[in-house]
Amino acid sequence: MENKDYKEKTMNDLFVEEGPRNENNEEKKMTELLEKNLELSNEILEISKYIKKYIVFQRIMIFVKIFLILIPILFALVYLPPLLSRVVEPFKSVLNIYTGVESGNLDFLQDLNK
């Protein structure tokens, strides 16, 4: 008769312990799993905070880079034309003399002698 009872039991029934001892083990396993889950969740939270700070920093740095490029260009557009006009002025007079010689107009030489 014992063999017949043994055959009727399912595989699950063979490996599962009965009674309060089994419930206690399940509770321990569940609490261990919950603790591991909590640790992993905290780790993920720390990593996500770090990533968020990094993204914010990168967005700020994009604006800083743009300003570092645009501000010198704007200053150059505002201040260079007057400075270049002062520098180019002597060269214009030399170029005018050269165009006078080419055209055959030598009146500028008389002005130089005076």
Confidence at residue 107, expressed as pLDDT on a 0 to 100 scale: 62
Candidate from 22-31, 53-62, 102-111 with smallest mean pLDDT: 102-111
Question: pTM, whole model, 2 decimals?
Answer: 0.47
Q: What percent of the chain has pLDDT over 90?
A: 43
Q: Which residue has the higher pLDDT, 74 or 13?
A: 74
What one-character-per-residue DSSP string does the chain give? -HHHHHHHS-HHHHHS--SHHHHHHHHHHHHHHHHHHHHHHHHHHHHHHHHHHHHHHHHHHHHHHHHHHHHHHHHHHHHHHHHHHHHHHHHHHHHHHHHHHHHT--HHHHHHH-
pLDDT tens-digit map of 57-102:
999 999 999 999 999 999 888 888 888 778 777 777 766 665 555 5
State which residues form the domain around 98: 2-113
Q: What's the number of domains the chain is made of?
A: 1
